[in-house]
Structure 1
Amino acid sequence: MIHEVATLTIDPARALDFEAAVAEARPHFEAAGGFISFALHRSVENPARYHLIVGWESVEAHMVDFREAEGFQKWRALAGPFFIETPSVEHFTQTI
């Protein structure tokens, strides 16, 4: 399993609407092949910054299967209008 960690920056005044949009988008992730888990974390020190952490069976499950599916477009349509910076995405494996 790998974790996709997306750093998302929004206008903190729109946080509740953003969180509602992410909750609405969650089923699109869950329907994707290779999906394992989903979490959204908000920074305490910087309330404009979130980490979206999605567990996938592989990098390919995220970057190919999900990114090429209609669910990815729906995710971006729901959450994308809130982004004030281009999201950064990295993939991590657990080592300990």
Structure 2
Amino acid sequence: MIYEIAEIQIKPDANAAFEAAVKEAVPLFQRAKGCQAMRLERIIERPDTYHLVIEWATLENHTVDFRGSEDFQAWRGLVGGFFAQPPKVEHTETVLTGF
């Protein structure tokens, strides 16, 4: 299992509209090959910054399957206009679970 963590900084005063656009995009991720979960988290100390956390079965499910799909283009169409700068995307894997 791989986690995609995208740090997204949005334009000022666009929180409600951005969150609504991400909610509208949920079905795009639900039907994506290998996508097992997604959530959007807002950074408390920086309210115009979010973490989009997506659980993928494999790295390629994100980097090849989803990014090469029409649904990825639809995702960017829904949310891209809110970006203050390009998202920073990293992938992680769990190496230890404490409890």
Band the TM-score falls in, shorter-chain normalisation: over 0.9
CA RMSD for the aligned pairs? 0.7
- Separation in 1, partners of 2:93, 2:59: 10
Q: Could you tell me which amino acid in structure 1 is paired with residue 10 of structure 2?
A: I
Report the counterpart of residue 27 of structure 1 in structure 2. 27
- Separation in 1, partners of 2:43, 2:32: 27
Shift of residue 95 of structure 1?
1.3
Deviations, residues 7-47 of structure 1 (Å, cap 9, x unaligned): 00002411000000000011101111101000000000000
- Separation in 2, partners of 1:89, 1:20: 21
Alignment size in residue pairs: 96
Q: Could you tell me which amino acid in structure 2 is paired with residue 64 of structure 1?
A: V
1:13-52, aligned counterparts within 5 Å? Answer: 13-52=13-52
- Separation in 2, partners of 1:28, 1:6: 16
Q: Under a length normalisation based on structure 1, what TM-score does the superposition of the two structures give?
A: 0.97
Report the counterpart of residue 87 of structure 1 in structure 2. 87
- Separation in 1, partners of 2:72, 2:58: 16
User: Structure 1: which 5+ runs fail to align?
Assistant: none
User: Structure 2: which 5+ runs fail to align?
Assistant: none
1:7·1:50 contact (CA, 8 Å) conserved in 2? yes
Deviations, residues 19-78 of structure 1 (Å, cap 9, x unaligned): 000000111011111010000000000001000000000110000000011110000000
Q: Could you tell me which amino acid in structure 2 is paired with residue 92 of structure 1?
A: T
1:65-80, aligned counterparts within 5 Å? Answer: 65-80=65-80
Q: Which runs of 4+ in 1 moved over 3 A?
A: none
Greater share of helix residues, 1 or 2?
1
Q: Under a length normalisation based on structure 2, what TM-score does the superposition of the two structures give?
A: 0.94
When Rg is computed on C-alpha atoms for both structures, the one with the higher figure is: 2
